[in-house]
Amino acid sequence: MMIRVLLLLAVAAVVITASTDNAGGCRYFCKKWRPGDEPRPSYCCDDGTVSDPPPPTEHSGFCPDIRQHCLRFKNKPPNACPHDGFCPPHQKCCWDTCLDHHTCKLATPHNPIPI
């Protein structure tokens, strides 16, 4: 009887560990923007608000300049996005320094960021 209890506890521990290793259910990881050659750490860019995520797509246009000054939000800040498929057709999933994550932004017709 004691062996069954220990086996049951071991199985429960494995299940709990496996469910927490998935970074809280994160489906997409993105790279943070950093200037120059600084390392670009990964982060979970899936805020979990979309139950059936769209397939990865690429919208036309470019991301706007990375802003130097942060705006204040009266309501909650914009949701995170892992790729353009989470955004309306006229927007792109772009890095936002102030929010410290990617979010949907209005696309520009030219590339303001030198590559």
Per-residue three-class SS string for the chain: CHHHHHHHHHHHHHHHHHHHCCCCCCCCEEECCCCCCCCCCEEECCCCCCCCCCCCCCCCCECCCCCCCCCCCCCCCCCCCCCHHHCCCCEEEEEECCCCEEEEEECECCCCCCC
Give the whole-angstrom CA distance, residue 85 versus residue 95: 15
Tokens of 54: 């769209």
Note the pTM of the prediction, 2 decimals: 0.58
Tokens of 6: 């220990």
Residue 102: predicted pLDDT: 92
- Smallest CA-to-CA distance from 65 within 112, 115, 114 is with 112
Inform me whether the pLDDT recorded for 19 exceeds 70. no
Residue 107: predicted pLDDT: 92
Inform me whether the pLDDT recorded for 110 exceeds 50. yes
Q: Which pLDDT band holds residue 5 (cuts at 50, 70, 90)?
A: very low
Do 102 and 81 touch, CB atoms closer than 8 A?
yes
